[in-house]
Amino acid sequence: MTDRDSHKGDEDSTVLIPVNAAEAEDLPVTLVKTLAPLHIVVLGYYLVPNQAAPEQVRSNHKEEATAAIDDAVSQFTDRGAEVESVVVFTHDKDETIDHVADEYDVDAVLTPGEYVEELSRVLVPMRGDENLEKIISFSTDLLRQSDVTATLYNVAESDGDASHGELLLRGARDRLAENGIDPDRVNWQVDRGDSPGDKIVTTAQEYDVLIVGESEPSLRERILGRITGHVVDRVEKPVFVVRDR
């Protein structure tokens, strides 16, 4: 593990990976391989029953919870990754994720899903988010440090929206190229539909992982967000939620 401020001068993104500390679980090899070049924060959350005190549960289960997280951390350190870790005993998983994401100043939070043997295709829905620049920055780091290809994606509800969506995606693709990403690795696609969330969920089935932006300033509110929350709750793929901070 490293000092929590050691990454501040570096350009690589920081990813928070929540792991259930009540269970010893191996992270998918394909995930570790893809993320190892980035800065990683492993959050071990141990859910405490409402009627129990976190301090009491911690005193009884701290050793096993720490061991479970050490297993996850070692998968990254074995690949030479820069990793930090924290174990939290909590009544509220989402609130804890949001707090730790702020404390460690992470760029994206990973929500779990069904992993394939090789992460190769990334879907990046864009809709003019205020944190568009942060989505582009995180996408740049992920593409630069891996062999994945990306599809920038927009759902339009009218012809006017479709024209705006095309400009948005072409501009984002140009920004990625300016950041050193080969344009051949980045496609763009505008679809028509009355429900952007439903359309994204359907299209996501063709991809290995998603990159989406927060629709609210906190992860807790983001889960209830109209589009991003709809996608995260329904899509079966892992999702990187890029924070708007």
133-171 confidence digits (pLDDT tens): 999 999 999 999 899 999 999 999 888 889 999 999 999
Q: Which residues of 82-110 are buried (b: 16+ CB within 10 A; e: fewer)?
A: bbbbbbbbbeeebebbbbbbeebbbbbbb
Residue 214 DSSP symbol: -
132 domain residue, yes or no? yes
What is the CATH classification number for the domain harbouring 74?
3.40.50.620
Same domain for 148 and 67: no
Which among 169, 161, 118 has a CA at the least distance from the CA of 139? 169
- pLDDT for 8-18, tens place per residue? 444 689 999 99
Residue 166 lies in a domain: yes
Identify the residue whose tokens are 């990254």. 76
Q: Kindly state the average pLDDT of the residues 124-137.
A: 86
Q: CB–CB of 214/242 below 8 Å?
A: yes
Examine residue 242 and state whether it is found in any structural domain, yes or no: no
Q: Is residue 46 part of a domain?
A: yes
Is 80 a domain residue? Answer: yes
* Residue 159 sits in the same domain as residue 227: yes
Tokens representing 140 are: 């740049």
How far are the Cα atoms of 40, 114, 133, 184, 232 from residue 143, in angstroms, in the given order?
Answer: 16, 20, 15, 12, 21
Are residues 145 and 170 both part of a single domain?
yes
- Residue 23, SS3 per DSSP: coil
- The tokens describing 107, both together, are 């760029």
Which one, of 66, 70, 55, 75, lies nearest residue 22 by Cα? 66
Among 83, 106, 129, the domain boundary falls at 106
Is residue 57 domain-shared with residue 142, that is, in the same domain? no
- Assign residue 177 a region (left: φ > 0; alpha: ψ between -120 and 50; beta: otherwise): alpha
Which of these three, 77, 106, 135, is where a domain ends?
106
How many Å apart are CA 90 and CA 49, to the nearest integer?
9
Residue by residue, what is the 3-state secondary structure of 155-209?
A: EECCHHHHHHHHHHHHHHHHHHHHCCCCHHHEEEEEEECCCHHHHHHHHHCCCCE
Structure confidence at residue 245 (pLDDT): 72
- Parent domain of 91: 14-106
Do 125 and 232 fall into the same domain?
yes
Confidence check: pLDDT of 223 > 80: no
Instruction: Specify the number of domains making up the chain.
Output: 2
- Last residue of some domain: 49, 73, 106? 106
Same-domain check for residues 67 and 133: no
Asked whether residue 245 is domain-assigned, the answer is: no
Q: Tell me the pLDDT band of 7, cut-offs 50, 70 and 90.
A: very low
